Structure 1
Amino acid sequence: MTAPTYRRRPVLPFRRRPVLLAAGALLTAGAVTAGVLVAGGAGAGRHARPVAGDGLRHTTVEIGTSGCGRGWTRPAAGRQVFDLRNTSATAAEAYLVDARTGAVHGEVEGLGPGTTRTLQVTLGDGSYAFTCLPDDADAVTGPTVRITGGGKVRSGPAAVPVTQQELIPPTLAYQKWIGARTVELARRTDVLRAAVDRGDLAAARAAWLPAHLVYERMGAAYGTFGDADAEIDGTTAGLSGGVRDPGFAGFHRVEFGLWHGESASSLRGPADRLAGAVHALRDSWPGRRMDPADVGLRAHEILENTVQFELTGRTDYGSGTNLATARANLDGTRALLGYLRPLLRTRATGLTGIETWMSRARHTLDAFDHDGRWTPLSRLTRAQREKVDADLGELVERLADVAALTDVRRTA
């Protein structure tokens, strides 16, 4: 696994597939997702086991190009486990879907040939089928299985997958929003550069944070910025020379100088370089295109990175404004969710909870804003620090559901 080349996007070099959510929890395939997916090792054979040691009904189901879904011959309502055995010669994915609506009740990916993994679900009355997606082969949907007589048993969480086409309109709207932010960013960065140019370092310090926070609200677009992100908001991570390294540039380079006694003359170069990068981004943005498949994941990553970098103080180069940055990141997340809300409204049962925790986190952070002077992390009491960590951490967990629901899944 290689490290990311810029600060706030610790994306793996392959696309990470989140599994569908349940009960507000989400983990990657191969882990436990409450009510939906439970990791499993080798199965216990090819025969159905009405009741296993865990007290649940187990059914062995084949996954592959031939015989997809074979083995589910005794359907029943309730909480149960499917032992999914890959009978093909390649790795495969498998979805358990509502045969009428296409909603996914559970999924397993990376199922190796000849191996078995378990899928735990709760099913009520209805029609269901397994879809098998072997690598390098077309998707195959198995026979429809009908459950009746379930009484009061209700199926667990399920969601209709989002398509690439559905994600295009909110992505375009968000791109337009980012375009307006780049104009604001250039204007505020020019104020910062002008203060440095005339040698007014007090004014430069006052102008630094408003400019920086504009950039921090644009987090979901960092991946589309390319090399501009390092030029505008790079850190010393990976630089052998640390804060003296020629590659250290952007807001944090200027921040270091402003809060560590550097002269205006020594800061003119870094301020000019920053302004140049910002103006280049503004001018080039209309020609850039965000990947619609990434926007939901970014809604989660913005605050995931906030917890990793801002709440640990790893990006503080003297201004002590990590909490202000966290607040700006929260604003950026809210903006993106606003564009995704039409898609989420019919899929995310926990959307109200996400909005509640967004408001709670905003209220917690606002308590540390004293007319534009933010409390540094080092001055938080233990109780304050724990509350900030808890509120942002809970919100990150809930936003993982957004990443799952907006992930574009293979259908053919």
Structure 2
Amino acid sequence: MFLVLAVGLALVALCSGGSGGSGQKKTAARRLVVEVSESHCGRGWTRPEPGVQTFDLHNTSDGAAEVYLEDPGSHAVYGEVEGIGPGTTRQLTVRVGKGAYAFMCVPDDADAVTGPTVRVTGGRRGPGAAPVSEHDLIPPALAYQKWVGGGLSTAVRLSADLKDAIDRGDLAAARSAWLPAHLQYERLGAAYDAFGDADGEINGTDAGLADGVHDKEFTGFHRIEYGLWHGESASGLRAPAAALVKALTGLRDSWAQSRMDPAQLGLRAHEILENTVQFELTGRTDYGSGSNLATARANLDGTREVLSRLRPLLTTRYADLPGLDRELTRAGQALDGSRHDGRPAALDRLTRAQRERIDSLLDDLVERLASVATLCDPRRTV
């Protein structure tokens, strides 16, 4: 639930942002209680005035609901709040300006209800975004799924090279082969949910396992990584390598029959780098190779792949899409600039300034991509 609320608030932040220098005096938002219910959706907004407005959305019904503030003509959404429980109040802050508005109340188990139209006669309204339907998301989801299928084939081939090196006892070659195989899989980040249990077999960690890195359930890339960088013999790694290739091959062969949920594509674009910040930039997934920054770069590439499929929808909905593109480029340059002797640097080889810069850039991207998740979240209208 927390993630849903955090994503929902991202659009609110866009709507309520003002302009002007730091010396400009800020006007306090006006407060108004608005009812959320099937019979009186939007009741309470009277004498509308332009400017920043905070609505206390009070749910008087007996079930949870989400609320949109929209233009009743174009259906552009100017703010939303999800998961308002019965008898509770949540705030929505937006900048309203010249134009028409109406609240839409969407109960969990009933049809959507649109409240009365309210007209504001002056001022500049904040940015709005046309809602996205699941139908809109089907073409980008199908295009992305096709790309993932090709990526899985490459991952199988590269992992077979890793297995071959281990089978012939050449552990130096195996260490060289491990990274490209792992990075290829990491680029497929938005599909992990559709991979199901196979993802745990292929890329799981020892988190929660009784015997940690020595647990028999510890499998996949990180199991092999641990062995390669902690002196394990080739004979001990042959079975994990064979299991990795088998799991990847099975996933590749079944992928054509899998179906990604189109409604989740925007959220997955956000989660890729959210997980990168949580796991890669903290070193929690380093089992000896020191490749977290290289993995972060692969995750960044994977994020770009998702966004490239969503771009036709975002171009007319996300005003700061050029800014997102610039920040993706800056983050890539920062990660590339951290290389040491031509190879991806380990986290502990970074200077404090380098680490702070990379952390800052990735944190900023996570916030920006939360807006992508919000804008690509299909909204109920009935």
Query: TM-score, normalised on structure 1?
Result: 0.86
For the Cα contact (< 8 Å) 1:107–1:119, is it kept in 2? yes
- For residues 118 and 329 of structure 1, the distance between their equivalents in structure 2, rounded to whole angstroms, comes to 34
For the Cα contact (< 8 Å) 2:5–2:82, is it kept in 1? no
Q: What is residue 96 of structure 1 aligned with on the other side? A: 69
Q: How far did residue 108 of structure 1 move?
A: 2.3
Q: How far did residue 117 of structure 1 move?
A: 3.0
For the Cα contact (< 8 Å) 1:20–1:104, is it kept in 2? no
For the Cα contact (< 8 Å) 1:17–1:407, is it kept in 2? no
- CA deviations on 1:355-410 (whole Å, 9 max, x unpaired) are 10100000011113357622111111111111111111111111111111111122
Structure 1 residues 140 and 329, CA, compared in 2 at 3 Å: closer, same or farther? Answer: same
Q: What is residue 221 of structure 1 aligned with on the other side? A: 191
Q: What is residue 365 of structure 2 aligned with on the other side? A: 395
Q: What is residue 115 of structure 2 aligned with on the other side? A: 142
**Residue from 341, 345, 354 that aligns with 1:375:** 345
For the Cα contact (< 8 Å) 1:99–1:127, is it kept in 2? yes
For the Cα contact (< 8 Å) 2:338–2:354, is it kept in 1? no
Structure 1 residues 363 and 55, CA, compared in 2 at 3 Å: closer, same or farther? Answer: closer
> Which moved further from structure 2: 109-118 or 355-364?
109-118
For the Cα contact (< 8 Å) 2:141–2:262, is it kept in 1? yes
Q: Which amino acid aligns with 1:224?
A: A
Q: How far did residue 234 of structure 1 move?
A: 1.1
- CA deviations on 1:245-294 (whole Å, 9 max, x unpaired) are 00010011111111111111111111111111111111111111100111
- For residues 162 and 377 of structure 1, the distance between their equivalents in structure 2, rounded to whole angstroms, comes to 39
> Which moved further from structure 2: 366-375 or 96-105?
366-375
- For residues 55 and 14 of structure 1, the distance between their equivalents in structure 2, rounded to whole angstroms, comes to 28
Q: How far did residue 15 of structure 1 move?
A: 6.2
- Pair 1:156 & 2:126 matched: yes
**Residue from 54, 77, 90 that aligns with 1:117:** 90
Is there any run of 5+ residues in structure 1 with no aligned partner, and where? 1-11, 27-32, 37-53
Q: What is residue 79 of structure 1 aligned with on the other side? A: 52
Q: What is residue 377 of structure 2 aligned with on the other side? A: 407
Q: What is residue 7 of structure 2 aligned with on the other side? A: 18
For the Cα contact (< 8 Å) 2:11–2:79, is it kept in 1? no
| Aligned residues between the structures | 374
Is there any run of 5+ residues in structure 2 with no aligned partner, and where? 19-26
- Pair 1:318 & 2:288 matched: yes
- For residues 149 and 292 of structure 2, the distance between their equivalents in structure 1, rounded to whole angstroms, comes to 25
Structure 1 residues 35 and 64, CA, compared in 2 at 3 Å: closer, same or farther? Answer: farther
For the Cα contact (< 8 Å) 1:98–1:129, is it kept in 2? yes
- For residues 244 and 388 of structure 1, the distance between their equivalents in structure 2, rounded to whole angstroms, comes to 33
Q: How far did residue 61 of structure 1 move?
A: 2.3
- CA deviations on 1:108-141 (whole Å, 9 max, x unpaired) are 2332333333322211111111111223221111
Structure 1 residues 372 and 211, CA, compared in 2 at 3 Å: closer, same or farther? Answer: farther
**Residue from 197, 202, 205 that aligns with 1:232:** 202
- Pair 1:70 & 2:34 matched: no
Any residues of structure 2 matched to 1:322-333 within 5 Å, and which? 322-333=292-303
Q: What is residue 222 of structure 2 aligned with on the other side? A: 252
Q: What is residue 274 of structure 2 aligned with on the other side? A: 304
- For residues 199 and 155 of structure 1, the distance between their equivalents in structure 2, rounded to whole angstroms, comes to 67
Identity of aligned residues (%): 63
SS at match of 1:79: strand
- CA deviations on 1:7-57 (whole Å, 9 max, x unpaired) are xxxxx699667326458x58xxxxxx8449xxxxxxxxxxxxxxxxx8443
Q: Which amino acid aligns with 2:140?
A: P
For the Cα contact (< 8 Å) 1:20–1:405, is it kept in 2? no
- For residues 89 and 266 of structure 1, the distance between their equivalents in structure 2, rounded to whole angstroms, comes to 60
Any residues of structure 2 matched to 1:152-231 within 5 Å, and which? 153-231=123-201
- Pair 1:59 & 2:49 matched: no
**Residue from 104, 118, 140 that aligns with 1:131:** 104
Q: What is residue 357 of structure 1 aligned with on the other side? A: 327
Structure 1 residues 310 and 116, CA, compared in 2 at 3 Å: closer, same or farther? Answer: closer
SS at match of 1:369: coil
For the Cα contact (< 8 Å) 1:254–1:271, is it kept in 2? yes
- Pair 1:292 & 2:256 matched: no
> Which moved further from structure 2: 215-224 or 104-113?
104-113
- For residues 45 and 71 of structure 2, the distance between their equivalents in structure 1, rounded to whole angstroms, comes to 15
- For residues 158 and 305 of structure 2, the distance between their equivalents in structure 1, rounded to whole angstroms, comes to 20
- For residues 252 and 228 of structure 2, the distance between their equivalents in structure 1, rounded to whole angstroms, comes to 25
Q: What is residue 47 of structure 1 aligned with on the other side? A: none
For the Cα contact (< 8 Å) 2:204–2:219, is it kept in 1? yes
Q: What is residue 241 of structure 1 aligned with on the other side? A: 211
Q: What is residue 21 of structure 2 aligned with on the other side? A: none
Q: How far did residue 86 of structure 1 move?
A: 2.2
Q: Which amino acid aligns with 1:18?
A: V
Structure 1 residues 186 and 55, CA, compared in 2 at 3 Å: closer, same or farther? Answer: closer
Q: Which amino acid aligns with 1:169?
A: P
- For residues 211 and 111 of structure 1, the distance between their equivalents in structure 2, rounded to whole angstroms, comes to 45
